[in-house]
Chains A and B, each alone.
Chain A
Amino acid sequence: MIIERAAYISMVIMTISLFIAFLRLVKGPSTPDRIVALDLITMLTLGMILAYCMLTGQFVYLNTTIILALITFLGTVAYARYLEKRVL
């Protein structure tokens, strides 16, 4: 029982941090700030999925987290490459 409540709390915490990260994303003066914020948001999504697994006790979502962990870094790298190419 304690775990459900803990998971619920962490879900709420994570939602709040999502909003905060989004704030940076909107405010972010330069593009890399936005990309950093997006990176954080993806990590938060991963966290939320984990918390949700704990909440429902169904661990089938871990496959999704594997994909999430692997692929989001690809997005960030693509953004980075675009920024470098634009500079040249």
Chain B
Amino acid sequence: MEIIIVILSSFVIAFISPLIYRIFKHLTGWVLSLVPLALFIYFATYLPQICAEECRTFAFVYHWVPSFGIDLSFYLDGIALIFSLIITLIGAFVVLYGGEYLRNHQHINRFFMYIFLFMGSMIGVVLSSNLITIFIFWELTSFSSYLLIGFNNERAESRYAALQALLITGIGGLALLAGFILLGQMGGSYEITELLTRGHLIRAHSFYLPALILILIGAFTKSAQVPFHFWLPSAMEAPTPVSTYLHSATMVKAGVYLLARLNPMLGDTQAWHDIITIAGTLTMLVGALIAVSQTDLKKILAYTTISALGMLMLLVGVGTVLAIKAAMVFLLVHSLYKGGLFMVAGAIDHSAGTRDITRLSGLWRMMPLVTIAAALAAFSMSGFPPLLGFVGKELIYSAKLQAPNASVILLISGIIANAVNVAAAMMTGIRPFWGKTHHAKCKHIHKVHTALWLGPMLMALLGLIFGLIPNLISMPLISPAVSSITGSQVVFNLQTWHGINLVFLFSIITFILGLMFFFSRNRWRKISTYLMFLKPLYPSQIYEKGLHGLLSLAKWQTKVLQNGYQRFYLITIVCFIVLMGGIQLVRLGGLPDSISFAGVKSFEIGLVLLMALAALAAILSKKRIAAVVSLGVLGYGVALIFVLFGAPDLAMTQILIETLTVIIFVLVIYHLPSFKNFSHRGVRIRDAIISVLAGIMMTFFVLLSINLQLAPTISAYYDENSVILAHGRNIVNVILVDFRGLDTMGEITVLAVAAIGVFALLKLKSKDH
């Protein structure tokens, strides 16, 4: 039961945070960060239960839409726990950091609201065990990321970046929904707990491939894999706390989480391994190569995040127990050091005013504590021995060594990516701090507030502690997570030092390569300028062109269809009906053979003939008033037909309406231009053909419908109980008022709106000019 409270609590806090801000002003950061801390402790209490041998899980179900089998069901197991711990821990630091970082921003209360909205939806994604609920929270994360990226909305770039992120993750979300529905069809239910047992059924199903591709699109767009990666660097427009939280630690990992969660059902097929591994390696390499040539602190971190995500995807793709273990450890490590480095970058930006690493140097005198935190995080990122990063890297290399196929390529690309990691760590974590401080380059540097360095320091320390004693996290955290993904019971322990062996050799190579990358970074920047000619191929350009293309298509289509010509609308409508009706008529074998003229009386034929003549006269008349008069004759003819076929009500209404139309016509005619023939012969012939066709088609329909007995006529129903139920013998009125009262209500409202429309048009127009 408490899981619902946990999820709802962050949403509730989100909506009252502006109020809390008004009370606590600058201390809100500290106060509000207690909430995620409390959630962290709450989740930590599950650690002992989760890691016990039988790995008990906790579920809560609330039936939301039973007819579709969608219910808000939540399910806490190993992987859900590790993610929620990361989310809540980093959430606490981010809220604390954000409170200080955006201290004098005028919309800071909105910041808290959006952050908690995001945290709630992120926990929702991680905990829910119904596919549709996952999708809902998934879309909520995209939504809150849109709000957060576009936080300082007065800048055009952040609005553009926010929209770009929303569109791409949105499209991914749609694909994901389609994939989930297919998956639901295959597995028979939307509940993950049930789907877990039906893995073989799903894999053999014909829908398997489309569902897989759709879900992968959803995951890849969210985790910024290669073709869809460009929204992440541009999302750096968001304030740094947002980048720390969403775009490095939690949101972008949702894709990895999803694939890990669906691994028991969809995994272990050739398609699964190939696609994910290829995408992962590609992303890893692309992210790494671009990262080297960047100059902006946050851009470097963004691209290295993309490369790290690629690495995670790759490990999930490989799918062996060792690879999953490496992925989990790396997940934790990456969140810690990347979060720390982002916060450091924020601190530098906040105090030194610039993020351009070429101009930053010798900051250690101004902010010693930040320097220590940055150094620790950087060493963890580059995989220096005592830190958890080293453990992670070792595991990754050993996992790649034992990868079933193409392990050599994986290994090489892994080494390159890690080398770039080392270089990036040097560039962001260490270079800006040592060296002489030349004041000319950066304007005055003011002291860094405690909140700004507390977050990165704690995270870096955690990295160090976990590095030194890995068993702290291996038993309670990593093994249950791995067992829930691979579906088999796995218990193992980690140690920092495996001794000198092949894997350690690779670490040294990586380290040396990294240093080379670092010292040759200027040359890399020149090389990247040469690659400019490839620009049109960049996915961001394709996105750009696609968007413009879509907009221009929409503009063109509206111009064509809505060109303001009333006659054009009529023609399109009539032609469409004639076409559709005609095809259907031909298909159903044309006219019914039995057209009997038995019951028709002579004067009825005469009347109908007269009406036809009147209609013709209305068309051919030279003067507008003559046309109106002949229309009048047509109207009275129709009224007469109503009488001849026993409908006095209708006849009365027809007569009244006929006369009132004449009255309104007369009032309006005075302003209408006289009947100059605007259209030349061709147009008139075309119109004639269309109208004749429509006429013929309509007569066919009427003839067909006479002897077509679709359903027992409803008049029988109204007949016998119009008196009993509604105490009225005049069935027409009884229907109008009682049985279908709501329709009449609608009709008179429509009438009222029409009258107000006319009134507005006439009255307001005459006033202003």
Contact = CB atoms under 8 A, between A and B. Distances in A.
B666 A71 contact: no
Interface string A37-61: 1100110010011001000001011
Contact of A67 (B613, B646, B656, B667): B656
B306 to A, nearest CB: 76
Contacts of B601: 8, 11
A82 B662 CA distance: 11
Interface string B646-663: 101001100110110011
B162 interface: no
A71 B633 contact: no
Contacts of B629: 25, 31, 34-35, 37-38, 79
B120 interface: no
Contacts of B658: 75
A26 B651 contact: no
B662 A78 contact: yes
A5 interface: no
Nearest to A35: B629
A67 B359 CA distance: 93
B534 to A, nearest CB: 74
Contact of A25 (B633, B640, B651, B667): B633
Contacts, number: 102
A78 B742 CA distance: 35
Nearest to B653: A67
B82 interface: no
Nearest to A53: B643
Interface string A15-47: 110110010011000010011011001100100
Interface string B598-623: 00011100110010011001000001
Nearest to A26: B617
B633 A38 contact: yes
Contacts of B648: 60-61, 63-64
A60 to B, nearest CB: 5
B663 A22 contact: no
Q: How large is the interface on A (under 10, 10 to 19, 20 to 34, 35 or more residues)?
A: 35 or more
B286 interface: no
A82 B651 CA distance: 26
A58 B623 CA distance: 41
Contact of B603 (A12, A49, A67): A12
A2 interface: no
Contacts of B626: 31, 34
B636 interface: yes
Nearest to B669: A82
B644 interface: yes
Interface size class of B (residues with CB under 8 A): 35 or more
| Best-surrounded residue of B614, B643, B669 (most CB of chain A within 10 A) | B643
Nearest to A60: B648
A57 B630 CA distance: 31
Contacts of A16: 606
A54 B159 CA distance: 79
Given A64-B648, A67-B656, A31 B625 contact: yes
Given A49-B643, A78-B666, A18 B655 contact: no
Nearest to B621: A26
B639 interface: yes
A71 B607 contact: no
B670 interface: yes
Q: Which of A14, A71, A86 has the most CB of B within 10 A?
A: A71
Contacts of A15: 602-603, 606-607, 610
Contacts of B614: 22
Contact of B659 (A64, A72, A85): A72
Contacts of A71: 655-656, 659
Nearest to A10: B603
A58 to B, nearest CB: 8
A34 B640 CA distance: 20
Contacts of B669: 82
A85 B670 CA distance: 8
Given A11-B603, A12-B603, A25-B633, A78 B663 contact: yes
Contacts of A38: 629, 632-633
B552 to A, nearest CB: 49
A12 to B, nearest CB: 6
A34 B669 CA distance: 17
Contact of B643 (A22, A42, A64, A82): A64
Choose among A26, A81, A85 the residue with the greatest number of B CB atoms under 10 Å from its CB: A26
Contact of B666 (A18, A37, A81): A81
Contact of B652 (A52, A67, A86): A67
13 contacts: A15-B610, A18-B610, A31-B625, A35-B629, A41-B633, A48-B640, A49-B640, A64-B652, A68-B639, A75-B658, A75-B662, A78-B663, A79-B625
Interface of A: 8, 11-12, 14-16, 18-19, 22, 25-26, 31, 34-35, 37-38, 41-42, 45, 48-49, 52, 58, 60-61, 63-64, 67-68, 71-72, 74-75, 78-79, 81-82, 85-86
Interface of B: 601-603, 606-607, 610, 613-614, 617, 623, 625-626, 629-630, 632-633, 636, 639-640, 643-644, 646, 648, 651-652, 655-656, 658-659, 662-663, 666-667, 669-670
Given A49-B640, A64-B651, A72-B659, 20 more contacts: A14-B603, A15-B603, A19-B606, A22-B613, A22-B617, A25-B617, A26-B613, A31-B629, A38-B629, A45-B636, A45-B639, A49-B651, A61-B648, A63-B652, A64-B639, A64-B655, A67-B655, A75-B632, A75-B659, A79-B666
